[in-house]
């Protein structure tokens, strides 16, 4: 993983997303796009996805919503196969 800015390290959405992806074993790379930061997530099946997240949270639920969205995205991309904590 490359160097990331202090602002991104302090971003609550980034913190929760990176913790979740690391816990689940998905390699990722943080990138700061022209307007919004995103994670380039390797789904280990020859495909990578870009997951954009807010640079500044709108409310206290924003980071949790990002984690829920990445879980849904992974589940959809893997076609319902494996997901450690899927319901």
Q: Which residues contact 79 (CB under 8 A, 6 or more apart)?
A: none
The per-residue pLDDT for range 19-40, each reduced to its tens digit, is 999 999 999 999 988 788 999 9
How far, rounded to the nearest angstrom, does the alpha carbon of residue 48 sit from its chain's CA centroid?
A: 12
CB 57 within 8 Å of CB 12:
yes
pTM of the model: 0.81
The pLDDT score that the predictor gives to residue 3 is: 60
CA distance 38 to 8: 10
């Amino acid at each position: 993983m490359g160097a990331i800015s202090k602002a991104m390290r302090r971003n609550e959405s980034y913190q929760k997303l990176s913790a979740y992806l690391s816990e689940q074993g998905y390699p990722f790379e943080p990138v700061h796009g022209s307007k919004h930061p995103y994670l380039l997530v390797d789904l280990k099946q020859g495909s990578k996805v870009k997951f954009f997240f807010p640079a500044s949270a709108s409310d206290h639920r924003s980071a949790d919503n990002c984690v829920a969205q990445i879980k849904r995205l992974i589940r959809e991309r893997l076609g319902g196969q494996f997901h450690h904590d899927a319901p």
